[in-house]
Amino acid sequence: MNNNIALGVYNLSKTFRIPHEHSDTFKERLVHLGRKMTYETFNALDNVSFEINKGEFFGIIGSNGSGKSTLLKILAGIYTADEGRVELNGAVSPFLELGVGFNVELSGKDNIYLNGIILGLSKKEIEKRYKSIIEFSELERFISLKVKNFSSGMYLRLAFSIAIHANKEILLMDEVLAVGDIAFQAKCLAEFLKYRSQNKTVVFVTHDLLTAQKYCDRLLLLKNGRVFMVGKASQVAQEYINQNIVDN
């Protein structure tokens, strides 16, 4: 892979098996006991290929069910592709399921260390960034509270702040700019935009076409699990709008 490429996706495919019947209760399981379970297949991704340059703010758009989140989870190593490969030129920091690994019985302070280690930081690195993590989250007054007493917004702000301080070369984002109020969202976005000057790469899944056009260098449009178009943000966004006008 070219050294100027941060991330390459080549002939990627992913299929899920969806059961036709789902038994939730013990009674339902007894009724269906001995009956052969049948499935249908769903092609979430079908032969997807593209490359992202180092330092690029790259957006992924598409309708619900088009494969956006599945693609991002494969890039993050959460899912395994059935076919194809992903090549990464740098460490990845995923902003997909913020707060995974938090222990709600521990304080915010303790969870900074716990989540930081999960994200690959050493104890020394966490200590060095500890003050900055708290300041960015704007939770100085509450950091000694148990996380179970946090509001959902506080929980996500702390998780976001820890993740952003992991300081990896490639950042994967799935609609995480909805964290906190408008002022905090703006601060988060401003932080991501700094990465351009540091030659870091942001991969951004969103339904917000205005944000995508304003900040992304290029967009990838997925449709039914396939790459429909990759190109200049304004052109791809307009194509997506045109498709939805026609489809609706």
76-92: per-residue pLDDT in tens?
A: 888 999 999 999 999 88
Q: Phi then psi for 98, rounded to 5 degrees?
A: -60, 135
Strands (E), 75-225: 83-88, 92-95, 170-174, 201-205, 218-223
Q: How far is CA 14 from the centre of its chain?
A: 17
Asked if the model's pLDDT at residue 197 lies above 80, the reply is no
Q: Phi then psi for 148, rounded to 5 degrees?
A: -65, -20
The pLDDT-based confidence of 31 (bands split at 50, 70, 90) is low
Triad 178, 181, 182: Cα angle to 5°:
85
Q: Is there a domain that residue 22 lies in?
A: no
Q: Is there a domain that residue 13 lies in?
A: no
Contact 140, 134 (CB under 8 A): yes
Q: Is there a domain that residue 200 lies in?
A: yes
Contact 61, 220 (CB under 8 A): yes
158-191: per-residue pLDDT in tens?
A: 988 888 888 788 988 877 665 667 777 778 777 7
Sequence-ordered list of residues with C-beta below 8 angstroms from that of 138, at least 6 positions apart, any chain: 157, 184
Domain limits at 72? 57-81+92-247
Quote the number of domains for the chain.
1
Q: Is there a domain that residue 42 lies in?
A: no
Please tell me the predicted confidence (pLDDT) of residue 201.
92
Asked if the model's pLDDT at residue 193 lies above 70, the reply is yes
- Closest Cα to residue 101, out of 163, 153, 151? 163
Q: Is there a domain that residue 121 lies in?
A: yes
Q: Is there a domain that residue 229 lies in?
A: yes
Average pLDDT, the chain: 86
Q: Is there a domain that residue 123 lies in?
A: yes
pTM listed for this prediction: 0.80
Q: Is there a domain that residue 43 lies in?
A: no
Average pLDDT on 212-219 reads 90
Q: Return the CATH number at 164.
A: 3.40.50.300
Triad 199, 116, 92: Cα angle to 5°:
35
